[in-house]
Structure 1
Amino acid sequence: MTTTPSALEGIRVIDMSRVFAAPMGAQILGDLGADVIKIERPGVGDDGRGYGFSWIKGKDGIETRHSSFFTVSNRNKRSITLNHSKPEGQEIIRRLAETADVLIENYKVGDLKRFGLDYESLKAINPRLIYCSVTGFGQTGPMAARPGYDGLFQATGGMMAVTGIPEGQPGAGPLKTGPSLVDFVTGHNTALAILGALMHRNRTGQGQYIDIALLDSSVAMVSHIMQDYLISGAAPPRLGNGGNGGGPADLMQCRDGIVYLTAGTDEHWRRLTVLMEQPELFTDPRFDSNLKRGKANRAELMGIINHWAGQRTVAEIMAALDEVGIPAARYNELPDVWEEPQVRHRKLRTTTPHPFAETGSVDLIASPLAQMSASPAAIRRPPPMLGEHTREILVELGYDEARMAQFEELEVI
């Protein structure tokens, strides 16, 4: 953990979200120094505590309930347990809202209005509040009431249409990405929108309401491929591991492993033909344009390249490509990622003290915003235990021990 000056020092965020997308957005604000107060259901907590394949082991038999899903999106937060269906829980949230700059929630459309915790109700208490709702389909429209998860939006928004093995090849068909990329990007869009709203408030003094939808992020993520469709009216084919820009760009099967090649410019292609000792390929009419190399005749060209690469080791191929300035990368399994010299240099794996973990610490993925020169993102707190900071936060709000005992008796906290 660190005490480095932070960009969002003094900003308080109420995080009423669960699972991944919205918690990720709140975590980014926490990484940048905001005081993020995570509100969780008593005894149950964030649903994400039960997701994933692995959990952090607690010391002395403690059950941390820190799943991989929860751990990756909830550092730099304090956890308070509150039952917002009870009047006393609503009172506490309103008191928190008086002190807050931002509130993030991802309940079903209209759900929090039943408890007087919607934007209009809290705006009356704190006009400077920035209130961000994160849902699957947005706040309005024919599908607004539907729940939604990452895979649904990879299917709906076009991501799966352009991901997977090309038609005509074994195993052809659409494919979901391994990580929950729509959730991940939506979390970043959430943080970006909130930062913009904070800038607006600095100029005007006004808070605002933000409507973030996974659907919107999923369509935007298809990016230049979707733009290609908007320009041409023709849906680009799935390219498998092929690049979406210049070519050749694809996996090369070497003698002892795999390298990803991107010889995306004419000059890179010329250098590759020389390196392969087949300079005549540079002017070969089958491969004399990016379109032919990257799409029309890609399979034929990659067959030639793989024949050349298959006689050499990964180390030999990487050294040869580096020497002539052709972009390439070694394919890594997950354990190999952390052995990459540049990954180690950038300190992308960071060990953070964790008082409840069996080992006394937890390894986390560093923020990609950690290289800001004056106010870098930093890990100041490990992910919280359920309700770890309940009493601490209630004391800050002015509640005494007697009142907190009443809350416990009423099952408010």
Structure 2
Amino acid sequence: MSTPTTATNFDSFKDLPLHKPRPAGAPTALEGIRVVDFTHFIAGPYATTIMAEMGADVIKVETPGRGDEFRHYPPLHPQLPAQGAPHMWTNRNKRSVAVNLKNEEGLAVVRELIRHADVVAENFSTGVMDRFGLDYESVKKINPRIVYLSVSAYGREGEFADRLGFDPIAQAESGFISMNGYPDRQGVRTLSPVIDISTAMMACNAILAALLARGRTGEGQYIEVGLFDNAVLMTGYAAMQHMFSGADPQRHGNTSPDTCPSGVFESKDKPFYINCGNDKIFHRLASQVLERPDLADDPVYKDRNGRIAKRAEIFGILEDLFKQQPWEYWQPRMRAAQIPCGEVRTVGAALRSKEAQARELVTRIEHPVVGWMPNVRMPFRFSETPTVDPKPAPAVGQHTDEVLGEVLGYDAAKLAQLRDNGALSATEPKKAHVPAEQPAVA
């Protein structure tokens, strides 16, 4: 995939609707929970971003200067150094504190933050937190109630604890890649980092469960989530199918080995996907949409196993029929007949779709430097504890003084002393410029 290094297309989203503020005074689900976040890239940061959306105070601890390496993934906004689009997606609603962990006074600052925290999250290579004296056993002595999350590639102990891991490697080694693509070529990975994202979801679930348990027992605990472990889970029920049958899943492209017809078809003007997950759906497709009741009544086609055995044959019939009319003809007919179907879209088309608009998934939010920023909301909705109003991902160390003053009570003299000693960034965080006007009007 070719990705521009700067956000050349940014203004094409200036007509997005403004985010609608949450009800004034409404509580949040994680109000009062503080997270000290040492994570970077995706699997760790997205777990804490989910918590931040639910109202937790997530304090992202970063190296002064460059910060999280994921900040530098393109495209970058020309006015926002070290804040690429991928980083903006995975770190919103956090506060950034730039602390030098190789400095003893910097470590002391971090330990004080942990003393006032509920959760510590990290996804460094195995051994890094131990070298800083910030491993679970050390942290537990500081704060016995702490919930401590470690996200690793293959676990923190054992034969493979030293191995590094990224999403594509986990996809490859778990068998996930072997399941995807077409049978006449090598399997393919998903471009979306599905293993990282699902690992983040698992990690967030585990943290929330540990906090719930702490409410009963008063005790914190250590949580470990492995990228490889989660990747094996993401092969879905194929793992159980293999253990029952001994057979490995085969690649079927866009079709399903378990249902028929299921796959991509071409209308007169654009492709779409249908999924006939049971016989009743196929019967409605044949009779109500295609006006071919003979297909539904056929002694072979009327049964799922019969259709699977004759997949190529039935696909040929359907392809000839679908090409006779455009998508705008087929879509309302299939919707009326309750046929699961959908247009095959690009990411850009999905973001601008009527479905995304109806769900208010993509909006504009205020940004203190560039005026506004596009935002894609989380998929969950709470009736009584709505998610927080989204704030853009912070600049490196943007909230250092704010957090250390608010949480630890440090005054200007203490902050200056820490800077002089190399514990914090050499310069004070830049004050955000608040635009005089409302964020970008269409």
TM-score scaled by structure 1? Answer: 0.93
Contact 2:283 2:302 in 1 (8 A): no
Deviation (angstroms), 1:372: 1.3
Q: How much identity, in percent, do the aligned residues show?
A: 35
Deviation (angstroms), 1:285: 5.5
Partner of residue 393, structure 2:
383
Cα displacement string for residues 200-248 of structure 1 (whole angstroms, at most 9, x for unaligned residues): 0000000000011111110111112222222222122111111354321
Partner of residue 280, structure 1:
294
The separation in 1 between residues aligned to 2:125 and 2:107, in whole angstroms, is 17
Cα displacement string for residues 231-280 of structure 1 (whole angstroms, at most 9, x for unaligned residues): 22212211111135432110111110011111221111112222334333
Partner of residue 423, structure 2:
412
Partner of residue 435, structure 2:
none
Superposed, 1:13-412 pairs within 5 Å as: 13-51=35-73, 53-58=74-79, 63-165=80-182, 167-168=183-184, 172-243=185-256, 245-274=258-287, 275-284=289-298, 286-294=300-308, 296-357=309-370, 360-369=371-380, 371-396=381-406, 397-412=408-423
Deviation (angstroms), 1:381: 2.1
SS of 2:83's partner is strand
Give the AA of the match of 1:301: I
Number of matched pairs: 400
SS of 2:149's partner is strand
SS of 1:239's partner is coil
The separation in 2 between residues aligned to 1:244 and 1:345, in whole angstroms, is 33
Deviation (angstroms), 1:124: 0.5
The separation in 2 between residues aligned to 1:139 and 1:312, in whole angstroms, is 57
Partner of residue 438, structure 2:
none
The separation in 1 between residues aligned to 2:300 and 2:388, in whole angstroms, is 51
The separation in 1 between residues aligned to 2:412 and 2:164, in whole angstroms, is 39
SS of 2:423's partner is coil
The separation in 1 between residues aligned to 2:375 and 2:101, in whole angstroms, is 31
Give the AA of the match of 1:103: V
Could you say what the CA RMSD is over the residues aligned between the two structures, in angstroms? 1.6
Of stretches 95-104 and 135-144 in structure 1, the one that deviates more from structure 2 is: 135-144
Cα displacement string for residues 165-213 of structure 1 (whole angstroms, at most 9, x for unaligned residues): 1x24xxx320111211000101111110000000000000000000111
The separation in 2 between residues aligned to 1:197 and 1:244, in whole angstroms, is 39
Cα displacement string for residues 300-333 of structure 1 (whole angstroms, at most 9, x for unaligned residues): 3222211111111011111221222212111212
SS of 2:315's partner is helix
Of stretches 32-41 and 254-263 in structure 1, the one that deviates more from structure 2 is: 254-263
Partner of residue 9, structure 1:
31
Deviation (angstroms), 1:283: 4.7
SS of 1:164's partner is coil
Change in Cα spacing, 1:299 to 1:379, as seen in structure 2 (3 Å) is farther
What 5-or-longer segments of structure 2 have no aligned partner? 1-20, 425-442
Deviation (angstroms), 1:44: 1.0
What 5-or-longer segments of structure 1 have no aligned partner? none
SS of 1:373's partner is coil
